[in-house]
Structure 1
């Protein structure tokens, strides 16, 4: 009996592979982006976070000259001084806040087009971190007191930050702003509060984009990769019992870059204690 054609073994494997590659080429040529099995876009992350374009807005200030009354707020931070953000902070308007998605992001801010309100150019640029929400005030019009009403992009700076670029008597000044990379010392930090049936994870000291779009956790034993939900700001929640195992967290920032903090919490981790990873974005 004659041996079967050489293609009879390889054909069933080679042809589908060629068809798959051709389909991918067609998809790429048609502009469709590949998806993960879960339906999310596949992103190839390279390089560092890059500054965004300059945009116009306005700035006011709140709190005291020492930054008092600005160290906590809608992002969930307990004390921005203790958590490494200091008082170089800003409460952003609703359209910028994005239900907490902006928390941790960094902005460079310049006072512009106000000869009597702007101070002379500072030696160093003013970079602030979004740590709070400037709520809308629908009792006043958006051009007269309701500065944070949608659809305005507005920056309510801490008073120490405002005074670096503008005169206190000005009250409100036009600004130009852009997103910039957050430069942090040390690694990403994690603090879990709550209880074994409901965990709230505060993530701080995030470099790069600074904000977070997704958080997942994995235990060293029974806990598989579990996606957390945003509770508020930079506080993320899960009902998974995380006790009794070392924990690894995987973060994704708004620019789709990812960082994994392997076993950042030891097996005997405790609620309310802050643990720092060895790496950052």
Structure 2
């Protein structure tokens, strides 16, 4: 018994010593920093679903929609986009998320080859008048991908119409920084946030002016349109974006004091 207790005291003493060394290494008695994936959004697990297509062969008819984007070809999303069903759309919170999609288990429908990466920019509305298995592809609780035709044709035959797929969330890789566009007027502002990297979606948005406007939280109006009645005119504006994975990016003074409604301004940095 005495030998066992002595051994336990030795182990305890070593553990305490290790904790002290770690705290000293961190500086000022602070705990050591924890690094998680180097701050980058990582791909999620593969899940089963189905995919259809909409719009023209050139992506026409798919450039705007329920997320509030005006022209995805000019806003950094191109025509590699998708209208997602209600559970994935999540009342607009799913807008901007990126997915890797591959056709599976359909020898006559799948083309094979590499999967396609698409961005959620629209809602595939439910069709309660049709069965979930026959026409009501986007009825809740189904997770469904209505791809643009250019995206669909990369993984499947047009004649297939609908194919089983495997999909997963992946990081959004964007060129340049986050973009901000304000529309509306002095008494009611709608802020559109586009070209968001990393997780891609926007879960929260705040704005701050260089003088009178303190940090103000905006509310989601619809899709990725965010609203505030705060008078933002005449000030250099800083925006803070929070994505669905709880990461934040602050775009300091991204809008100059003489910013204009309807003009898009780009920050220097983006999520990865």
TM-score, normalised with respect to structure 2: 0.86
Provide the residue aligned with 2:63 in structure 1: 71
Is the 8 Å Cα contact of residues 212 and 254 (structure 1) preserved in structure 2?
yes
What is the DSSP-based 3-state SS (H/G/I as helix, E as strand, rest coil) of the residue aligned with 1:116? Answer: coil
1:105 aligns with 2:85: no
**What stretches of structure 1 of length at least 5 have no aligned partner?**
1-43
What is the DSSP-based 3-state SS (H/G/I as helix, E as strand, rest coil) of the residue aligned with 2:238? Answer: strand
- RMSD between aligned residues: 1.0
Cα distance in 2, alignment partners of residues 84 and 262 from structure 1: 21
Provide the residue aligned with 2:203 in structure 1: 213
Provide the residue aligned with 1:58 in structure 2: 50
Cα distance in 1, alignment partners of residues 247 and 37 from structure 2: 6
Q: CA deviation at 1:45?
A: 9.3
**What stretches of structure 2 of length at least 5 have no aligned partner?**
1-35
Provide the residue aligned with 1:92 in structure 2: 84
1:258 aligns with 2:213: no
What is the DSSP-based 3-state SS (H/G/I as helix, E as strand, rest coil) of the residue aligned with 1:272? Answer: coil
Cα distance in 2, alignment partners of residues 83 and 272 from structure 1: 13
Provide the residue aligned with 2:218 in structure 1: 228
Cα distance in 2, alignment partners of residues 45 and 247 from structure 1: 31
Is the 8 Å Cα contact of residues 45 and 257 (structure 1) preserved in structure 2?
no
Cα distance in 1, alignment partners of residues 80 and 112 from structure 2: 19
Cα distance in 2, alignment partners of residues 138 and 212 from structure 1: 29
The verdict on how the C-alpha distance between 1:160 and 1:117 changes in structure 2, with shifts beyond 3 A counting, is same
Is the 8 Å Cα contact of residues 109 and 178 (structure 1) preserved in structure 2?
yes
1:161 aligns with 2:138: no
Provide the residue aligned with 1:116 in structure 2: 108
Residues 137-216 of structure 1: matches in 2 within 5 Å? Answer: 137-216=127-206
Q: CA deviation at 1:120?
A: 2.2
Q: CA deviation at 1:84?
A: 1.3
Is the 8 Å Cα contact of residues 238 and 253 (structure 2) preserved in structure 1?
yes
What is the DSSP-based 3-state SS (H/G/I as helix, E as strand, rest coil) of the residue aligned with 1:163? Answer: helix
Is the 8 Å Cα contact of residues 83 and 205 (structure 1) preserved in structure 2?
yes
What is the DSSP-based 3-state SS (H/G/I as helix, E as strand, rest coil) of the residue aligned with 1:161? Answer: helix
Q: CA deviation at 1:174?
A: 0.2
Runs of 4+ in structure 1 deviating by more than 6 angstroms, as ranges, are none
TM-score, normalised with respect to structure 1: 0.83
Q: CA deviation at 1:256?
A: 0.4
The C-alpha deviation readout for 1:5-43, integer Å capped at 9, x for no partner, is: xxxxxxxxxxxxxxxxxxxxxxxxxxxxxxxxxxxxxxx
Cα distance in 1, alignment partners of residues 98 and 186 from structure 2: 33
Which of 123, 126, 129 aligns to 2:119? It is 129
The verdict on how the C-alpha distance between 1:270 and 1:45 changes in structure 2, with shifts beyond 3 A counting, is farther
Q: CA deviation at 1:253?
A: 0.3
Provide the residue aligned with 2:29 in structure 1: none
Matched residue count:
236
Q: CA deviation at 1:47?
A: 1.7
Is the 8 Å Cα contact of residues 181 and 210 (structure 1) preserved in structure 2?
yes
Provide the residue aligned with 1:267 in structure 2: 257
